[in-house]
Amino acid sequence: MSRRRVDDTICRAIGGDPVAVGWIVAQADATADALVMVMVALLEVDPAGLQRARAMATTSRDRQVVEIARAHLDGRIDQVDALARDHLVDHPDNLLVAWIASGAVVPTHRSGGC
C-alpha cells in the first residue's frame, strides 16, 4: 500500500471508520510500516507494539512519533504535549501526532474522516 493510502487509512481510523480500524489492527503481524504499528499499539493499548514500531522506524520523524505514542501510553501527558508541539512545528501535517496529543480516542461512530 502506498504511503498516501496508509496515511488516508490512519486518518479514517482516527475518525472512527471501523473498516480502517479493522485493517490497521489486522496489519499488526505483517506490517513493516512504523506508523501503522504505532497506530496498532495505540488502538490496542499495547506498549509492546511500540517496540516493534521503534525497530521499524527509519527516519527521525517516525522515531519521534514512536516516542510521543510511548509517552501517551505511559500516561506522561505533559511530555506528550511538549514532544507533540515540537514535532508539529516541523511536521504540521502529521495528523497522527495531533490525534495523540488530543488524547488518541477513536470515536465509536464514523465521523466523516479527515
pLDDT tens, residue by residue, 8-47: 999 999 999 999 999 999 998 999 999 999 999 999 999 9
Q: Contacts from 28-34 at CB under 8 Å and sequence distance 24+?
A: 31/56, 32/56, 33/6, 34/58, 34/62, 34/65, 34/66
pLDDT tens, residue by residue, 45-73: 999 999 999 999 999 999 999 999 999 99
